[in-house]
Chains A and B, each alone.
Chain A
Amino acid sequence: MFTVAKKEISTYFKSPIAYVLIGLFMLMISVLFYTPFSLGSGDFMPVMDSMGFFLIFLVPILTMRILAEDRKNGTEVLLLTSPTSLTKIVVGKFLAMYFIFIIITILSLIYPLIMVAYGAVFTVQLAGAYIGFLLLGAAFISVGVFASAITENQIISAIISFVALLAFWLAGTFSTQVGGDIAKFLNWISLTARYDVFTRGLLGLPEIAYFVFFTILFIFLTVRVIERRRWIQG
């Protein structure tokens, strides 16, 4: 499991992709950060909100090659015929992606620390929001890994995960347009609505449980999809 994770992490840092993604994300946060900071605000929460939104663009690019490339290059054979189980391989790949995401998250901590340096207080709420961000990242990455398993084309994989993540994000917004049970359902599946709980400074147990369950579900589905493909078309 860690063998696969380690190998994937080193692959990302050997190619420009990890640096480009980290640079891009930092640039985006910087721009977002500038407005409240120049106004003298010490509130980082609105920035956290937008960071979550940026993940919709970032994660598909991060995860698009993770399984699709193995399938295209034939290295899938090596992984599947090794005594390491498929679940361990998929979890290893997920962990590699999550490791890169954690690096990005740690780097983004620079901005609240700048605020703290200028007199703002590092609040418990902010810590809570960061826990929310980490959970959101896990959920997004699991969707990205899943999308990478269903096609051998990286671009298609990126588009699928982008659309899926956008749908999960917008589900909450749509819920205000429709009423009744559908709205309730949309709100329930929406990752945004749950992430908002964290950025409002609350630490909700159901939300944590939802994100964890969501992540495990998609990792499980990824394993199933690869298994199923072997049985069907070979």
Chain B
Amino acid sequence: MIEIQNLTKKYGQVVAVNNISFSVRKGEILGFLGPNGAGKSTTMNIITGYLPSTSGTVTVDGYDILTHPDEVKKRIGYLPEAPPLYRDMTVTEFLKFVSNLKNVPRKKQKGQMADIMELVGLTDHRKRLVGNLSKGYRQRVGLAQALIGNPEVLILDEPTVGLDPKQIIEIRRVIKALSQERTIILSSHILPEVSAICERIVIINKGEIAAEDTPERLSRGVDQVLKLNLTIKGPVKEIVAAIKKIDGVTYIQSSGAAPDGGNKFILEGVNDGIKEKLFFAMAENGWPLTEMKPSVMTLEDIFISVVTKGQEVR
């Protein structure tokens, strides 16, 4: 559906996006992840035709954004980082304006606007001025605006930024619902968000793609490092000393008393039979191991490891 090939964007001497390529299949939700200033917004601005690229091509549904901008723009609904809103219009007036701008046939406008307002939860606010709405509701108006014209592709630049947790869950639910019949690119620097709704993730850092895979496979890549939460009954110092002797342990730290009378520890090490070795070491000393819980590497950790790895190479 969306093909991005060797895309480069320079602002003068500054390279914002450096030779990136990826594609998004029809009906897929792609998470576009990266720290602030990584080039996420620039890439999205290029895909939607707001900015021209320095070199490289973007095609949507077979149409090149440079040669057939109107065909591409027709197919895309875009929610930029700062939602483009006219504050002096009511929600209904604004959405009607956008409908006309996107050439939605007059007959269809009313029904479509009603459906969209229902979907994003704006129906009760339709007569209010956009400028008087709270940030969360303005974000919804921004999303509604992107949905007008029923585009096949949605490009959402940080759609949940500035929302409260309840609203974030709601917006995620909306995006998930939308993904049934649409292709979506969603950018974020918040990881749980991306792992919650995206099927595939592209991590971008300093204008270059640092990693690209499904959330599960990306997690697996970091699985060689094991992080365990332990509760052991016994003397803290001796336990720490004993664990340090185990092959493959890279980090051990006591983390206070457990409710069952034991002591808590955090352990990190190479994931190679370390659990068994730990069990036998503790059993030998007669210290009951009452809890051993692997703490899953979150996307947060993956993100940081991928991004910092990139820095070391440089």
Which of A's residues lie within 8 Å of B, judged by CB? 3-4, 7, 10-11, 14-15, 73-85, 230-231, 233-234
Contacts and interface: CB of A to CB of B under 8 A. Distances in A.
A228 to B, nearest CB: 11
B206 interface: no
A157 to B, nearest CB: 19
A74 B52 contact: no
Query: Interface of chain A, helix or strand or loop or mixed?
Result: helix
Given A3-B100, A3-B101, A7-B97, A81 B82 contact: no
A73 B51 CA distance: 17
A81 B101 CA distance: 10
A75 B86 contact: yes
B76 interface: yes
A77 B52 contact: no
A77 B101 contact: no
A80 B74 CA distance: 12
Interface stretch (B42-50, B159-167, B208-216, B302-310): B42-50
Interface in B144-170: 145
Nearest to A231: B52
Contacts of B74: 83
A81 B100 contact: no
Instruction: Report, nearest first, the 8 A-B pairs whose CB atoms are least far apart.
Output: A78-B84, A3-B100, A75-B84, A82-B101, A74-B82, A83-B73, A81-B48, A83-B74
Contacts, number: 69
B51 A234 contact: yes
Given A80-B50, A84-B101, A15 B84 contact: no
7 contacts: A4-B101, A15-B88, A74-B82, A74-B83, A78-B101, A81-B78, A234-B42
Contacts of B85: 73, 75
A83 B102 contact: yes
B12 to A, nearest CB: 8
Contacts of A230: 50-52
A137 to B, nearest CB: 25
B297 to A, nearest CB: 37
Interface string B101-121: 111000000000000000000
Contacts of B76: 81
Contact of A77 (B12, B84, B93): B84
Interface string B267-287: 000000000000000000000
A77 B87 CA distance: 15
A75 B78 CA distance: 12
Contacts of B50: 77, 80-81, 230
A74 B97 contact: no
B9 interface: yes
Interface string B59-95: 0000000000010011010101011111111000100
Contacts of B249: none
Given A10-B93, A78-B145, A82-B102, 12 more contacts: A11-B89, A73-B85, A75-B85, A76-B84, A77-B78, A78-B98, A82-B73, A83-B70, A83-B73, A83-B101, A233-B11, A233-B12
Nearest to A3: B100
Nearest to B148: A82
B84 A74 contact: yes
Interface centre among A75, A82, A84, A231 (most CB of B within 10 A): A82
B148 to A, nearest CB: 10
A227 B48 CA distance: 15
B80 A77 contact: yes
Given A3-B100, A7-B97, A11-B86, A81 B9 contact: no
Contacts of A234: 9, 11, 42, 45, 51
A14 to B, nearest CB: 5
B207 to A, nearest CB: 14
Given A4-B101, A78-B98, A81-B49, A14 B84 contact: no
Contacts of A75: 84-86
A75 B103 CA distance: 18
Contacts of A15: 88
